[in-house]
Amino acid sequence: MMQRVKRYFRPEQLRELSLVFLILLIFLFFGTQIEGYFSPRTFNRVTSDVAIIAVVAMGETLVLLTRNFDLSVGSIVGLTAFFTGKLLTFNPDLLPVGALLFAIGLGAALGTLNGVLVAYGKVPSLIVTLGTLAIYRSILVAFPAGTKNVVTQDLPQWLLDLGGMQLFSIGEFDIKPVVAVGLVMLVIFQLVTSYTRFGRRLYAIGSNPEAARVGGLPSQRIVLFAFILCGAMAGLAGFMFLVRYGNLTPAAAQGMELQGIAAAVVGGVSTLGGVGTMIGAMLGALMINLLQQSLLRWLVISTFWVGALLGLMILISVTIDAVIINRLRNIWTQQGLEINPVDETKVVNEKESHDA
């Protein structure tokens, strides 16, 4: 029995379960603290924000799995949101699908630049994306098109409707398009990472880059794709950002890369590559955002604690991963071996009969 449990139930899942448990705990705690907390309103508000961060975090996870970093996603989100807003301001007749594709395409293009520099230029991803973090943001600032801000009045009506629309409701719990997109992405990328060759190779490369090279995996191309997808996801998040907020300054989504990485790391994605799931990243995003939203409404401490707590959460997560989860994983696999040892006696016996 224990063997079967061990085979299918891993420390990673244990970690995700405890995250779910913690999220529930946070939820219950603030329920006792904030009046009217257990309401559909809380649900609606939190889910929309989580959806955006989760999409960014999932993109970031693809890159983290390959043992790389993308610090530029915040700038990509800001840039695509802003430019898509501007595009719609000047071409109000553009089809919604066109605007969506524009955002995703722009994000993918920016991700491509990152990916090419990392995979083919052999520049460490930290350096590349620290650079592009500044470059993409300064492109946004340098953009000389009329007024600096995107404002709701200039945007077409369908976009504004999209933000308030309810796809369907369960009681008073609304599922907005933004949330639906987030969920669809979660399903797609969870499937991609566990059931496609590309997805599994992301894990392989992060797990042992040298083996990937010698074993003939097209590492460069896979890393490039990870960055492109990460950029495209950030572009999609940019579109969602525009839909949700409407009013944008050139500083839009500044620092979102930190939230994305924080969500992934809190969700159990390792910065050393090869470990982590999309569900984990989503749970991380949910936990971080729930905490942030709740702090905004909790009057006991200042809302400015949000940033400080975020840093603390990352530190605690990586410490737990290094100290507890890693140890647990080693114990797990070792016991697995004891259950199914290489049958030495058989081999030795055959050898003896062979000699005789």
Interactions with another protein, residue window 197-226 (CB under 8 A): 197-201, 203-204, 206-208, 210-212, 214-217
Measured CA to CA, the distance from residue 4 to residue 326 in angstroms comes to: 21
Q: How far is CA 21 from the centre of its chain?
A: 20
Q: Is 314 in the site for another protein (CB under 8 A)?
A: yes
Please report, as residue ranges, which positions from 3 to 32 form the binding site for another protein (by CB under 8 A).
Answer: 7-8, 10
CA dihedral 191, 192, 194, 200 (to 10 degrees): 180
Min separation Cβ 106 and another protein, Å: 17
Q: Phi then psi for 248, rounded to 5 degrees? A: -130, 140
Q: Is 271 in the site for another protein (CB under 8 A)?
A: yes
Q: Is 156 in the site for another protein (CB under 8 A)?
A: no
Q: Is 127 in the site for another protein (CB under 8 A)?
A: yes
Q: Collapsing DSSP states into helix, strand and coil, what is residue 222?
A: helix
Please report, as residue ranges, which positions from 51 to 80 form the binding site for another protein (by CB under 8 A).
Answer: 69
Q: Is 336 in the site for another protein (CB under 8 A)?
A: yes
If the CB atoms of residues 97 and 308 are measured against another protein, the closer one turns out to be: 308
Q: Is 188 in the site for another protein (CB under 8 A)?
A: no
248 forms beta bridges with 150
Angle at the Cα of 137 from the Cα atoms of 132 and 142, rounded to 5 degrees: 120
Secondary structure of 32-77 as H, E, C letters: HHCCCCCCHHHHHHHHHHHHHHHHHHHHHHHHHHCCCCCCCHHHHH
- Which of residues 35, 93, 344, 355 is near another protein by CB under 8 A? 344
- Which of residues 145, 323, 324, 349 is near another protein by CB under 8 A? 323
Min separation Cβ 60 and another protein, Å: 12
If the CB atoms of residues 238 and 276 are measured against another protein, the closer one turns out to be: 276
